[in-house]
Amino acid sequence: MKRILSIIMTLFACLVTVEAQNVEGAKVDGMNLKRSGDHMSVNMTVDFTSLDVLSNRSVVFTPMLVNGSDSLDLPAVGFYGRRRYYYNVRNDKEIINGQDGMSYRASQAPDSLAYNVVVPYKNWMNGAYLVLHRSESGCCNKVLSEQYSQLCVFNEKIFTPQYVYLRPVPEKEKVRFISGSAYVDFVVNRVDINPSYRNNKVELDKITATIDSVKNDADITLNAVSIKGYASPEGTYKSNALLAEKRTEALKQYVQNLYDFTPDFINTEYEPEDWAGLRAFVDASQLLNKKEILSLIDSSREPDNKEWSIKTTYADDYSVMYQECYPALRRSDYKVEYTIRKYKDVAEIKEIFAETPQKLSLEEFYLLAQEFEDNTRELNDVFETAVRMYPNDPVANLNAAISEMQNGDLTSAVPHLEKAGDSPEAVYARGIYSALVKDYDKAVELFQQALEQGIAVAADAIEQVNEIK
């Protein structure tokens, strides 16, 4: 990130870097080497009008791909004089080596041959020369002469889009929340909390553990605690309202006494009957009268009438609801609000990143990222961690997608690009993804949008993609 990041993708074309030297008897024209995925095609036209083969001679032309110590012989084209041709036929000898080769009697040689072959692509072929080898043999296949001509060299053009990371907007304060639900049981018609009753200790410990996790951190200031109590629909709405209110107040007092909070530090509210929670359960259930029960829940009837109608009309379904759903509706949702101090020293940010990355803001992740070189594992780890901490944040998703594309991980980049928002930088990044998957028309369209929205480097990307197309 100390410079604008780039990634290389390939474009396939043949670049002639040496003037073709035709071998005796063959003139080559229209050379084209093209890579398509895992294969390379070699295409050219060869003129043989000047070829002259003596009766007892054979002339074989073998195209070759050569790069240093690596080479590949392509299917050859052989021409045989009259005596050499019939000698091979009478003695059942191969006219030409290679299963895919072509052979002709010299007197029947074509004036021009369209040579087209496809071979598996290997990495060493980038930078390889296309060479034409001419070999003339006489009696007993003794090689009398050889010629080599460098026809062209295959270079994969490089596409180098400039990656633009988006700097997050600094937070005025790093305010965070931790929330959860506690299922505290009360004795029937009682509102006092008994920590030893049923599973209450475990449920109460969930609240205190959440508070302790931030209260005991020197970098954190605890701001407030909120509790919302719910009751289930059985019984009258009036009694449920009273129970929900008093039980929520009892839980507030319990927490307040443990921590000596001031009375206004804990905010409370209550909901007498959790019909929304009941509806969600029914909607996801396999109850026999599911449709009818949902209709009752959604009706404008008074709560007591709804509950009575379901209970008396659909007794079996009501029994399932009472056993499986109602206990989960009697709960207390809690939320702890706190503020984390800001970190400005990169060395300290690095320590926090290694131990408690959830305490870092997106801006602090960004500051840390600038310490690492382009296209490194460390840089990728920073942005991958940032998006785990902020999974729905557009900037976090955009920067993670860029880092993944830079490292060639297009699969992981897709879901992050989908959540990257509609900023000019996000449009530009989606253009790069389109180019990488060879959807060049879509890439140009997106780059044009990004350019119009102020991403200047999109102009260079458009130029490069147009060359590829």
Closest to 163 (Cα-Cα) out of 10, 11, 382, 1 = 1
Instruction: Tell me the mean pLDDT in the region 2-17.
Output: 32
φ, ψ (nearest 5 deg) of residue 82 = -60, -50
- DSSP code at position 75: P
Task: Classify residue 432: in a domain, yes or no.
Answer: yes
Residue 47 has pLDDT above 50, yes or no: yes
Shared-domain flag, residues 17 and 123: yes
Shared-domain flag, residues 121 and 234: no
Residue 311 has pLDDT above 50, yes or no: yes
In Å, how far from its chain's centre is CA 403?
Answer: 10
Looking at 338, 371, 400, which one is the last position of a domain? 338
φ, ψ (nearest 5 deg) of residue 199 = -100, 25
Shared-domain flag, residues 212 and 235: yes
Domain count, the chain: 3
Check if the beta carbon of residue 372 is closer than 8 Å to that of residue 388. no
Shared-domain flag, residues 399 and 322: no
Instruction: Tell me the mean pLDDT in the region 135-142.
Output: 87
Q: Is 95 exposed, middle or buried (0-12, 13-18, 19+ CB in 10 A)?
A: middle
Residue 57 has pLDDT above 70, yes or no: yes
Instruction: Render pLDDT for 411-462 as a digit per residue (tens, 0 to 9).
Output: 999 999 999 999 999 999 999 999 998 899 999 999 999 999 999 999 999 9
Task: Classify residue 350: in a domain, yes or no.
Answer: no
Check if the beta carbon of residue 77 is closer than 8 Å to that of residue 53. no
Give 108-132 as a 3 state SS string.
HCCCEEEEEEEEECCHHHCCCEEEE
Instruction: Tell me the mean pLDDT in the region 210-220.
Output: 93
Check if the beta carbon of residue 49 is closer than 8 Å to that of residue 41. no
Residue 2 has pLDDT above 60, yes or no: no
Q: Which domain holds residue 270?
A: 174-338
Shared-domain flag, residues 294 and 422: no
Shared-domain flag, residues 132 and 219: no
Between 34 and 13, where is the model more confident? 34
Indicate the residue type of 394: P
Residue 329 has pLDDT above 80, yes or no: yes
Confidence at residue 10, expressed as pLDDT on a 0 to 100 scale? 31
Task: Classify residue 67: in a domain, yes or no.
Answer: yes
Q: How confident is the model at residue 382 (pLDDT cuts 50, 70, 90)?
A: very high
Buried b (16+ CB within 10 A) or exposed e, 402-437: bbbbbbeeeeebeebbebbeebbbbbbbbbbbbbbe
Give 279-317 as a 3 state SS string.
HHHHHCCCCCCHHHHHHHHHCCCCHHHHHHHHHHHCHHH
Residue 312 has pLDDT above 70, yes or no: yes
Between 202 and 100, where is the model more confident? 202
Q: How confident is the model at residue 124 (pLDDT cuts 50, 70, 90)?
A: very high
Residue 20 has pLDDT above 50, yes or no: no
Instruction: Render pLDDT for 394-409 as a digit per residue (tens, 0 to 9).
Output: 999 999 999 999 988 9
Q: How confident is the model at residue 99 (pLDDT cuts 50, 70, 90)?
A: low
Residue 306 has pLDDT above 50, yes or no: yes
pLDDT above 90 covers what percent of the chain? 77
CA angle 247, 252, 257 (to 5 degrees): 125
CA of 210: how far to CAs of 197, 205, 258, 352, 368, in Å? 21, 8, 13, 20, 28
Residue 133 has pLDDT above 70, yes or no: yes
Confidence at residue 158, expressed as pLDDT on a 0 to 100 scale? 67
Q: How confident is the model at residue 368 (pLDDT cuts 50, 70, 90)?
A: very high
Shared-domain flag, residues 130 and 200: no
Instruction: Tell me the mean pLDDT in the region 199-226.
Output: 95
Shared-domain flag, residues 13 and 136: yes
Confidence at residue 100, expressed as pLDDT on a 0 to 100 scale? 67
Shared-domain flag, residues 133 and 214: no
What sign results for the dihedral spanned by CA atoms 275, 280, 284, 290? positive
Q: How confident is the model at residue 339 (pLDDT cuts 50, 70, 90)?
A: very high
Write down the mean pLDDT value for the chain: 90
Task: Classify residue 1: in a domain, yes or no.
Answer: no
Tally helices (H) and strands (E) across the chain.
Answer: 16, 16
Q: Which CATH number does the domain housing residue 373 bear?
A: 1.25.40.10
Tokens of 328: 């989960």
Shared-domain flag, residues 313 and 379: no
Instruction: Tell me the mean pLDDT in the region 57-82.
Output: 93
Tokens of 383: 């942005």
Confidence at residue 94, expressed as pLDDT on a 0 to 100 scale? 56
Residue 432, SS3?
helix
Check if the beta carbon of residue 431 is closer than 8 Å to that of residue 446. yes
Task: Classify residue 254: in a domain, yes or no.
Answer: yes
Looking at 129, 160, 191, which one is the last position of a domain? 160
Residue 469 has pLDDT above 90, yes or no: no
- DSSP code at position 355: H
Task: Classify residue 242: in a domain, yes or no.
Answer: yes
Residue 19 has pLDDT above 80, yes or no: no
Instruction: Render pLDDT for 265-300 as a digit per residue (tens, 0 to 9).
Output: 999 999 999 999 999 999 999 999 999 999 999 999
Tokens of 224: 């407030």
Task: Classify residue 141: in a domain, yes or no.
Answer: yes
Q: How confident is the model at residue 225 (pLDDT cuts 50, 70, 90)?
A: very high
Q: How confident is the model at residue 375 (pLDDT cuts 50, 70, 90)?
A: confident
Instruction: Render pLDDT for 112-123 as a digit per residue (tens, 0 to 9).
Output: 999 999 999 998
Shared-domain flag, residues 365 and 241: no
Closest to 18 (Cα-Cα) out of 206, 150, 169, 166 = 150
CA of 67: how far to CAs of 103, 147, 160, in Å? 27, 18, 25
Query: Which residues, 6 or more positions from 394, have their beta carbon under 8 angstroms from its beta carbon?
Result: 419, 420, 421, 423, 426
Looking at 126, 160, 194, which one is the last position of a domain? 160
Shared-domain flag, residues 24 and 156: yes
Task: Classify residue 35: in a domain, yes or no.
Answer: yes
Q: Which CATH number does the domain housing residue 47 bear?
A: 2.60.40
pTM, 2 dp: 0.67
Check if the beta carbon of residue 59 is closer than 8 Å to that of residue 85. no
